[in-house]
Amino acid sequence: MIHKIIDFCSNFWGMLTDFINWVLDGILYLLSEIVYLSMDAFFSIIETIISAIDFAQVTALSSFGNWNLLPDQILYILYKLNIAQCLSMLAAACLIRLTLNLIPAAFTRV
Mean model confidence pLDDT for the chain: 82
Q: Which pLDDT belongs to residue 29? A: 97
How large a percentage of the chain has pLDDT more than 70?
Answer: 81
The pLDDT confidence band at residue 40, using thresholds 50, 70 and 90, is very high
The tens digit of pLDDT for each residue in 18-33 reads 999 999 999 999 999 9
Q: Judge whether 55 and 92 are in contact, CB under 8 Å.
A: yes
Q: Judge whether 20 and 26 are in contact, CB under 8 Å.
A: no
CA 41/CA 26 separation, integer angstroms = 22
Domain region containing 5? 1-52
Q: Which pLDDT belongs to residue 5? A: 82
Instruction: Tell me the pTM.
Output: 0.42
| Same domain? 24 vs 72 | no
CA 31/CA 61 separation, integer angstroms = 45
The tens digit of pLDDT for each residue in 61-84 reads 555 556 667 788 888 888 888 887
Among 52, 74, 95, the domain-final residue is 52
The residue type of 75 is: L
Assess whether pLDDT exceeds 80 at residue 37. Answer: yes
| Same domain? 106 vs 59 | yes
Listing DSSP states for 48-106 in one string gives HHHHHS-GGGTSTTTTS--GGGS-HHHHHHHHHTTHHHHHHHHHHHHHHHHHHTTS-HH
57 vs 53, residue with greater confidence: 53
56 vs 103, residue with greater confidence: 103
| Same domain? 66 vs 110 | yes
| Burial 15-45, CB ≥16 within 10 A → b, else e | eeeeeeeeeeeeeeeeeeeeeeeeeeeeeee
